């Protein structure tokens, strides 16, 4: 097996450092070896095979990587879905089809909108100085990676939800602009020609799939000369080692540093399991279930008062994530914006995230094709009561 020619002995083949031909084998090894281990795949042929390097931590990899010869740097970071992940974007468009587009200016517009979205969704502030921008643009293609090192999602599936919500929000705002003013609006600059009939955002949304491989700083695709380097005018105050560590997506603590430090959405277990590629319960949480009244009487009253036909059939409560699910028989649409026209005579799910004091309604009718969850703030009385119950640990579990 091919091995690096410039790797010091301590990072060669050892009990900790491993090489695998198949990514599944590398993932399996990491699941047994511990959550600190990280996988980095290296291309060995144009569009062809890769070998997967497993290190006991990101720091171990960084120390070894900086000693690799440039010709050997064809590395991609493997982002397993069960790992916490920094917020990242892959931004690109063909220059020939978009000769008038200003890529760097478009990136600045997008970063500004992401900062607004993080403030809107999670009430957090991000400084522009904390954003990492890497560039591998050629004469044919604009290409940048944008990473937010201080914005960490609990799992990649939560980040995917944020990206989808963010992109849809941008597209909806673009559609709402008057047609005669479209081209003058900054957000319209984010739409590019891709060779298809309709324009699209220059955000590559495919990079949040399971077992994603994301090219890292100073690496190039095999057979190409354009490496992923600092974007022009960016990161001049940081060393190569600092940029590398900040830009690695899975270079996060193995455990959440403090409650609420990692961002997440109240996902249902089937959704999470489907994304993880298993039918088993993935999260190890404590689950309390019941029928009729839940441990939160104000919430019970709120849901029951939506309609005279509304009746709570059963509920379950994920204590670790503070997520409460009510399975309702009857019209729950008046809890908020109706998500479809089926709710009058159908079953529904009311999903409540106590941590964020929000709720959403989903129709469970088989014929209904709507799966969107619209989260709304809980009524003040419910939010206060939930806060007392959760923080006061008054629930009998």
SS3 75: strand
Distance, CA of 89 to CA of 210 (rounded, Å): 16
Report, as ranges of residue numbers, the positions in the chain whose pLDDT lies below 50: 1-13, 278-286, 333-341, 343-344, 371, 388-397
- What confidence score (pLDDT) does residue 337 get? 43
State the pLDDT at residue 268. Answer: 57
**What distance lies between CA 103 and its chain's CA centroid?**
23
CA distance 203 to 226: 20
- pTM of the predicted model as reported, rounded to 2 decimal places: 0.68
- pLDDT at position 273, please? 54
Average pLDDT of the chain, as a whole number:
79
Q: Which residues pair with 51 in a beta bridge?
A: 42
Q: What is the residue-wise DSSP string for 283-302?
A: S---EEEEESS-S-HHHHHH
**Neighbouring C-beta atoms of residue 383, cutoff 10 Å:** 18
């Amino acid at each position: 097996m091919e091995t690096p020619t410039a790797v010091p002995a301590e990072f060669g083949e050892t009990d900790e450092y491993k090489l695998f031909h198949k990514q599944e084998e590398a993932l399996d090894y990491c699941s047994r070896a511990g959550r600190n281990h990280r996988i980095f795949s290296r291309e060995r042929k144009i569009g062809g095979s890769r070998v997967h390097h497993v290190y006991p931590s990101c720091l171990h990899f960084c120390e070894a990587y900086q000693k690799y010869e440039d010709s050997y740097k064809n590395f991609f970071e493997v982002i397993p879905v069960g790992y916490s992940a920094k917020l990242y974007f892959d931004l690109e468009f063909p220059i020939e089809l978009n000769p008038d587009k200003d890529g760097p200016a478009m990136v600045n517009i997008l970063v500004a909108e992401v900062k607004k979205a993080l403030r809107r969704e999670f009430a957090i502030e991000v400084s522009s100085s904390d954003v990492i921008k890497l560039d591998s643009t050629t004469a044919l293609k604009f290409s940048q990676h944008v990473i937010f090192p201080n914005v960490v999602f609990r799992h990649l599936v939560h980040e995917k939800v944020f990206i989808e919500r963010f992109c849809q929000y941008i597209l909806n705002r673009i559609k709402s602009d008057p047609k005669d003013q479209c081209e003058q609006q900054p957000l319209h600059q984010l739409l590019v020609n891709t060779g298809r009939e309709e324009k699209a955002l220059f955000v590559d949304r495919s990079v949040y799939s399971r077992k994603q491989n994301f090219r890292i700083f100073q690496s190039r695709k095999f057979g190409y000369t354009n490496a992923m380097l600092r974007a022009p005018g960016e990161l001049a105050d940081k060393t190569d080692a600092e940029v590398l560590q900040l830009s690695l997506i899975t270079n996060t603590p193995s455990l959440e540093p403090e409650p609420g430090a990692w961002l997440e959405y109240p996902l249902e277990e089937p959704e999470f399991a489907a994304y993880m590629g298993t039918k088993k319960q993935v999260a190890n949480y404590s689950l309390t279930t019941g029928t009729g009244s839940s441990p939160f009487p104000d919430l019970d009253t709120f849901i029951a008062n939506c309609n005279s036909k509304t009746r709570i059939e059963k509920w379950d409560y994920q204590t670790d994530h503070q997520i409460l699910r009510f399975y309702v028989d009857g019209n729950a649409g008046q809890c908020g914006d109706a998500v479809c026209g089926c709710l009058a005579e159908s079953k529904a799910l009311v999903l409540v995230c106590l941590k964020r004091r929000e709720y959403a309604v989903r129709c469970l009718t088989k014929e209904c094709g709507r799966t969107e969850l619209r989260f709304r703030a809980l009524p003040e009385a419910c939010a206060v009561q939930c806060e007392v119950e959760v923080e006061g640990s008054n629930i009998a579990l």
